[in-house]
Amino acid sequence: MIQEVYRRYEDYKKTDSLWYDETPNHWQTGRVKDFVVFNTTIKTPINFDENSLVEFVPMTNVDDELGKIKEFNFVPLKEVSSGYTKFRNGDVIFAKITPCMENGNSAIVAGLKHNICFGSTEFMVFRASRKLTNKYLRYFLHNELFRRNAEPFMKGTAGQKRIGSHYMAIHFFSLPPIPEQKSIADYLDTKTTQIDKKVHLLTQKSAHYSKLKQSLINETVTRGLDKTVPMKDSGIEWIGDIPEHWGVSAITNITSTISIKNHPKEELLSVYRDYGVIIKSMRDDNHNKAGANLSNYKLVEAGYLVINKMKAWQGSLGVSEFRGIVSPAYITCKTDKKIVERSYLHHLLRCRNYINEYNRLSYGVRVDQWDMRYDDFKYVPVLLPPKKEQKSIADYLDDKTAKIDTIVKTINTQIEHLKELRKTLINDVVTGQIKVI
């Protein structure tokens, strides 16, 4: 992307804002409450009865990036007439609860058939005054720095914190004239759409390479490297044919569970769906917090198979390259290196055919808490080429997947750069730090 050169306004004045020091001299300043009406009262049409279908918006129906409602649900009026938030066309809805507030869940309401809609009680409703356009207001509320500075003022217990309308009302707000607001909103519409299209294309590209990696692994660990060898029926419906000279065993014949504890000073490890076993501190996107007392955590040696039994159906397992400790909820197994090359086993057990089988073996009340027991897992069949061939397969896949991972990492870095550019652009434009008209 070619770096655009931005201009500044000629004159600025000091602000009372917590997150930007100056604003263009000709912009009007005040508090949010001076320019919007909060949580306005809306009357239900008199021709509606309790069974009339009305439009309803749960939090999940808000596209926080595009600032639109993705779709409206239709429910009987009697189900939502009491205790839900009401809004109409032109209003701006804003999520007040964590983590939706931090994620910028907000949208302009449009397209209502009867000019009334019901939504989650976690929406705060803003109605712009004559001095303010709703598109400009929505960009202001979506501004990451505005939301970040609101976080310390949220109240409630962890996971259920909310920002109050009082804070929103008294928050400093600088406002350009209406024509300038419209120009700014149009500019941001154009620029964010351009960025979003590039992000979408790069995301598709990343997904393509990820699928290519899975296909490569699946094909190689079940068919081998030599496509000319005779094949035979594996006897396993979800595997199909395998090379004639390969054997078939079971997890129980090449692994044994082990649980060694009281090593709290060892490196803390974690299991990632995309990578297998990694050192937890190497990534900052793992939000699972370790307990204060690590004495109960299980010791893992390099070569151990580690399984997150609650997420095995997603692919959260792998053979560790590291010594360390893992959650006591994980299954840890020694592997028999005389029978199986550990890197080969790592690729085999993480291929798509096997993950589908873990999905079949996992069960529970909630999907995100499905559990796979070792007593079921231990009978999962293991394909066993000769040891030399296992190593050749592992070396081949290590090389090919590392190259694909590098490509995906580069693409994802580009995506993150574009997302940061989008955030910075919105912030700088709605606070008047750069001039775009």
User: pLDDT averaged over the chain?
Assistant: 91
pTM above 0.75, yes or no: yes
| CA–CA distance, 437 with 429 (Å, rounded to integer) | 10
Query: CB burial class (10 A; 0-12, 13-18, 19+) of residue 286?
Result: middle
Distance CA 316, CA 322 (A): 16
275-310 pLDDT, tens digit each:
899 998 776 655 556 666 899 999 999 999 999 999
Is the domain spanning 28-175 CATH 3.90.220.20? The answer is yes
Q: Report pLDDT digits (tens) over 30-64.
A: 988 889 888 677 777 777 888 999 999 999 999 88
Rounded Cα gap, residues 299 and 269, in angstroms: 10
Q: Residue 43 corresponds to which tokens in the numbers above?
A: 């009357």
Q: State the DSSP code for 291.
A: P
How far apart are the C-alpha atoms of 298 and 263, rounded to whole Å?
8
In terms of Cβ atoms closer than 10 Å to its own Cβ (0-12, 13-18, 19+), residue 311 is buried
Tens-digit pLDDT profile for residues 156-189: 887 788 888 777 777 888 999 999 999 999 999 9
Q: Return the CATH class of domain 225-384.
A: alpha beta
Question: Over the stretch 329-382, which tens digit does the pLDDT of each residue have?
Answer: 999 999 999 999 999 999 999 999 999 999 999 988 776 778 999 999 999 999
Percent of the chain with pLDDT over 90: 72
CA nearest to 250, candidates 107, 363, 378, 345: 378
State residue 215's pLDDT score: 96
Strands 117-119 and 53-57: parallel
